């Protein structure tokens, strides 16, 4: 847990990453709020808040009296969201910085290609 | 949610000293609340007032809606574990385990027995022969196994090593999850407990200077580091909680920064780092009275 | 997480007071085993002395030694011990009972009940042992330990005298310890200074008004039984004062 961001957001991201990596397959049951609290040694209310973020966004859903499950199609939705995030967090500033340094589009694409090959 | 504790304008004077000075706050039922502050800040006095062990000089306190003073109906739902707890002469650990259930109606003897094993507490040993850590574990066991709807832990783990403290945190979280209750945790090991807390109260010189959710406090302060000129420029219009200078480099702790602020800081060549709860409290309680009032 | 730990209904006042009574008795070593161990030791020593006297002294000297023993008595030792455990009950068990969330009122009433029970048991024991001592003519050795001459020869009266004396010593211990718990060392200093002044004042009063004769006559007229009965007044006062003090006392480190 890092100190700069709310823990519940970090918990939500952690669960998303587990879904991305396949540790939590779609339609599988997710550990309970209390299990998350115990595992990460955090307040159960905070863990609950993180889980609720994912329930609100439809990544997880509740089965009454049984527990929480990964929604179908949530992996694809997480990938889509993370791609968008990737664009905003990395590509946009990258292009802006390149422009300010006078790096043309062709040159930038070339740099990225070389980076990808290495 | 209703309040387990409501404190309104409470003052406790000892002669001319105001150990607790016109304090107002409440604690939500079912939360784990940190009561933090330096030694002598008024934590123990405040908890003694909340448990009817001491008497207010002014103001009012209600616990579960009633005054706790000499109120058996309230007090039997309260357990107060004190670091400096006295035990009767020649009491043994087993005398404590035997008598505690007579006073705490929710006492779980199996849980207590399991904790005694976890903490490797010798039941037949006299309390006064226990090590400081073992003495603390007696309190921790009573506090957990009593399952009182309102439990106070005042510096509960003096002398406990890191492993035993972790054991306490794990048992507390697990049991709290199964049997939700209101817990007030007072400690100076703030970094260790900050993730366990839902709410934070900081008392300094008898006054509550922070009363906020733990999530709200997280990221509520940031340290900016850079050249003296850059830091001066950035902090000109802000409240500075703390400032250090080394050669031409300065670091300043400031309040919450939004994304615009972060961009501006980055543009000025400043490095940003998060301030932990413990650092935040040190900054806030180490500063002078005036600075605290400015920043509060 | 919508449910919190259940708030149980308050147990009745009697159950709460009974819990305090049990708390006083949970460590039996302190309150029962230790005093009887010491008593057994004193008893053994007394028997040995009695046997030595019997084998070495003439009949005349023996009867003088016997009358000297009339005023020792086991009851004195028990009374002092009771004073000590009463002081400890207030100075140590009170802060502990507060940590168990007992109210001061429940603690005080429970403490008085516990000590009344203890007084009953000890007075009964002293009476029975005294009766055996009389019956066996001093355990066959002419020894006087449980049946000192100042106690009434009537067993019921003797039981009453012992019981009232036990109560007196308990309540004095409770009241003095309450002064300490409430005001600490300063309170003790002021208390004992005031007590000394009051006693001096009474002595001066008796001297100035030359009424020592009357005082002496009163004690003679009252007899041991009467004086013991009169201690019920300070006992009751101490019980009230102790409660008033403890009601506003705070357990401190």
Q: Across chain A, where does the E strand assignment appear? A: 29-30, 60-63, 67-70
With contact defined as beta carbons under 8 Å apart, do A15 and A51 qualify? yes
Of the given ranges (A12-21, A85-94, B239-248, C108-117), which has the lowest mean pLDDT? B239-248
Q: Mean pLDDT score of chain C, rounded to an integer?
A: 88
Kindly report the pTM of this predicted structure: 0.88
3-class SS at C6?
Answer: coil
Strand ordering across the sheet containing B182-187: B78-82, B150-154, B182-187, B32-36, B199-204, B207-213
Between strands B222-227 and A29-30, the pairing is unpaired
pLDDT above 90 for B56: yes
pLDDT above 70 for B143: yes
Categorize the per-residue pLDDT at C65 as very low, low, confident or very high, splitting at 50, 70 and 90. Answer: low
Q: Mean pLDDT score of chain B, rounded to an integer?
A: 90
Q: How high is the pLDDT of residue B293?
A: 40
Determine which of C27, C31, C32, C246 to mutate to test the interface with B (most B C-beta atoms within 10 Å): C27
Q: Which of C1, C100, C106 sits opposite B100 (nearest CB)?
A: C100
In chain C, % of residues over pLDDT 70: 90
Q: What is the average pLDDT across C175-194?
A: 92
Residue A27, sorted as left (phi over 0), alpha (psi -120 to 50) or beta, turns out to be left
d(C-alpha C242, C-alpha A84), whole Å: 75
Q: Do C96 and B88 touch (CB under 8 A)?
A: yes
Of the given ranges (B8-12, B208-212, C68-72, C84-88), which has the lowest mean pLDDT? C68-72
How many Cα neighbours within 13 Å face the side chain of C42?
16
Q: Do A43 and B170 touch (CB under 8 A)?
A: no
Reported as a single tens digit per residue, the pLDDT across B90-100 is 899 999 999 99
ipTM (interface pTM): 0.89
Q: How far is C69 from chain B (nearest CA, A)?
A: 34
Q: Do C100 and B99 touch (CB under 8 A)?
A: yes
pLDDT above 70 for C149: yes
Q: How high is the pLDDT of residue C4?
A: 54
- SS3 of C165-188: the string is HHHHHHHHHHHHHHHHHHHHHHHH
In chain B, % of residues over pLDDT 70: 96
pLDDT above 90 for B264: no
Q: How high is the pLDDT of residue B289?
A: 40
Categorize the per-residue pLDDT at C66 as very low, low, confident or very high, splitting at 50, 70 and 90. Answer: low
d(C-alpha A74, C-alpha B122), whole Å: 53
pLDDT above 50 for C2: no
Residues of C with CB below 8 A from B148's CB?
A: 5, 101
Q: What is the average pLDDT across B58-63?
A: 97
Q: What is the average pLDDT across C75-97?
A: 90
Reported as a single tens digit per residue, the pLDDT across B2-38 is 899 999 999 999 999 999 999 999 999 999 999 998 8
Q: How high is the pLDDT of residue C72?
A: 60
Q: Which two tokens stand for residue C221?
A: 């007229």
Of the given ranges (A57-71, B123-137, B269-283), which has the lowest mean pLDDT? B269-283
Between strands B249-254 and B240-246, the pairing is antiparallel
For tokens 């020869």, name the residue.
Answer: C153
Taking the Cβ of residue A31 and every Cβ of chain C, the question of whether any pair is shorter than 8 Å is answered with: no
Residue B2 burial by CB count (10 A; 0-12/13-18/19+): exposed, middle or buried? exposed
Chains that touch B (3 or more CB pairs under 8 A): A, C
Q: How far is B127 from chain C (nearest CA, A)?
A: 12
Residue of B nearest to A35 (CA): B174
pLDDT above 60 for C1: no
d(C-alpha C24, C-alpha C102), whole Å: 13
Q: Do C3 and B180 touch (CB under 8 A)?
A: yes
For tokens 């040159």, name the residue.
Answer: A107
- SS3 of chain B: the string is CCEEEEEEEEEEEECCEEEEEEEEEEEECCCEEEEECCCCCCHHHHHHHHCCCCCCCEEEEEECCECCCCCHHHHCCEEEEECCCCCCCCCEHHHHHHHHHHHCCCCCHHHHHHHHHHCCCCCCCEHHHCCHHHHHHHHHHHHHHCCCCEEEEECCCCCCCHHHHHHHHHHHHHHHHHCCCEEEEEECCHHHHCCCCCEEEEEECCEEEEEEEHHHHCCCCEEEEEEHHHHHHHHCCCCEEEEEEECCEEEEEECCCCHHHHHHHHHCCCEEEECCHHHHHHHHHHCCHHHHHHHC
Categorize the per-residue pLDDT at C145 as very low, low, confident or very high, splitting at 50, 70 and 90. Answer: confident
Categorize the per-residue pLDDT at C71 as very low, low, confident or very high, splitting at 50, 70 and 90. Answer: low
Taking the Cβ of residue B248 and every Cβ of chain C, the question of whether any pair is shorter than 8 Å is answered with: no
């Amino acid at each position: 847990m890092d100190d700069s961001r709310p823990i519940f957001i970090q918990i939500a991201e952690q669960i998303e990453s587990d879904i991305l990596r396949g540790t939590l397959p779609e339609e599988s049951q997710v550990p309970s709020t209390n299990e998350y609290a115990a595992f990460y040694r955090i307040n159960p209310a905070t863990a609950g808040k993180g889980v609720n973020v994912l329930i609100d966004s439809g990544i997880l859903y509740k089965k009454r009296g049984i527990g929480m499950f990964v929604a179908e199609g949530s992996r694809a939705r997480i990938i889509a969201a993370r791609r968008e995030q990737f664009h905003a967090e990395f590509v946009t500033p990258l292009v802006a910085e390149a422009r300010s340094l006078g790096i043309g589009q062709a040159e930038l694409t070339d740099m990225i290609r070389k980076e990808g090959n290495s | 949610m209703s309040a387990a504790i409501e404190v309104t304008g409470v003052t406790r004077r000892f002669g001319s000293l105001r150990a607790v000075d016109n304090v107002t706050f409440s604690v939500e039922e079912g939360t784990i609340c940190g009561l933090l502050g330096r030694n002598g800040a008024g934590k123990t006095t405040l908890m003694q007032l909340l448990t009817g062990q001491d008497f207010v000089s002014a103001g009012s306190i209600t616990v579960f809606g009633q005054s706790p003073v000499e109120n058996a109906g309230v007090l039997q739902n309260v357990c107060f574990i004190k670091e400096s707890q006295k035990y009767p002469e020649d009491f043994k650990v087993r005398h404590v385990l035997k008598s505690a259930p007579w006073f705490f109606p929710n006492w779980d003897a199996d849980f207590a027995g399991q904790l005694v094993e976890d903490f490797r507490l010798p039941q037949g040993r006299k309390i006064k022969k226990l090590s400081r850590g073992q003495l603390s574990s007696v309190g921790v066991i009573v506090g957990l196994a009593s399952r009182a709807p309102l439990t106070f832990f005042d510096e509960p783990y003096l002398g406990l090593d890191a492993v035993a403290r972790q054991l306490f945190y794990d048992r507390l979280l697990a049991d709290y999850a199964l049997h939700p209750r209101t817990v007030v945790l007072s400690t100076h090991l703030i970094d260790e407990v900050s993730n366990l807390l839902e709410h934070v109260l900081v008392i300094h010189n008898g006054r509550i200077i922070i009363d906020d959710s733990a999530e709200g406090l997280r990221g509520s302060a940031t340290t900016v580091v850079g050249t003296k000129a850059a830091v001066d420029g950035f902090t000109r219009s802000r409240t500075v909680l703390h400032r250090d200078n080394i050669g031409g480099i300065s670091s300043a702790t400031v309040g919450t920064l939004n994304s615009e602020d972060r961009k501006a800081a980055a543009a000025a060549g400043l490095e940003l780092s998060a301030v932990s709860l413990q650092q935040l409290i040190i900054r806030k309680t180490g500063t002078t009275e005036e600075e605290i009032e400015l920043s509060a | 997480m919508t449910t919190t730990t259940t708030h149980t209904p308050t147990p009745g006042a009697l159950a709460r007071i009974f819990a305090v009574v049990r708390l006083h008795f949970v460590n039996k070593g302190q309150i029962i085993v230790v005093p009887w161990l010491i008593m057994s030791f004193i008893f053994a020593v007394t028997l040995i002395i009695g046997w030595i006297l019997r084998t070495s002294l003439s009949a005349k000297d023996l009867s003088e030694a016997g009358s000297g023993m009339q005023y020792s008595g086991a009851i004195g030792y028990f009374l002092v011990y009771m004073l000590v455990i009463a002081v400890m009950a207030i100075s140590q068990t009170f802060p502990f009972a507060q940590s168990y969330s007992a109210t001061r009122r429940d603690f005080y009433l429970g403490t008085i009940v516990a000590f009344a029970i203890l007084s009953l048991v000890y007075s009964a024991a002293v009476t029975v042992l005294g009766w055996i001592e009389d019956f066996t003519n001093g355990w066959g050795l002419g020894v006087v330990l449980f049946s000192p001459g100042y106690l009434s020869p009537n067993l019921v009266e003797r039981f009453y005298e012992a019981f009232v004396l036990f109560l007196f010593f308990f309540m004095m211990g409770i009241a003095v310890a309450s002064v300490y718990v409430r005001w600490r060392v300063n309170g003790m200093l002021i208390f004992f200074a005031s007590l000394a002044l009051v006693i001096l004042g009474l002595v001066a009063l008796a001297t100035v008004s030359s009424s020592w004769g009357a005082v002496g006559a009163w004690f003679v007229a009252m007899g041991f039984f009467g004086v013991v009965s009169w201690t019920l007044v300070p006992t009751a006062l101490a019980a009230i004062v102790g409660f008033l003090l403890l009601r506003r006392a705070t357990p401190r480190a």
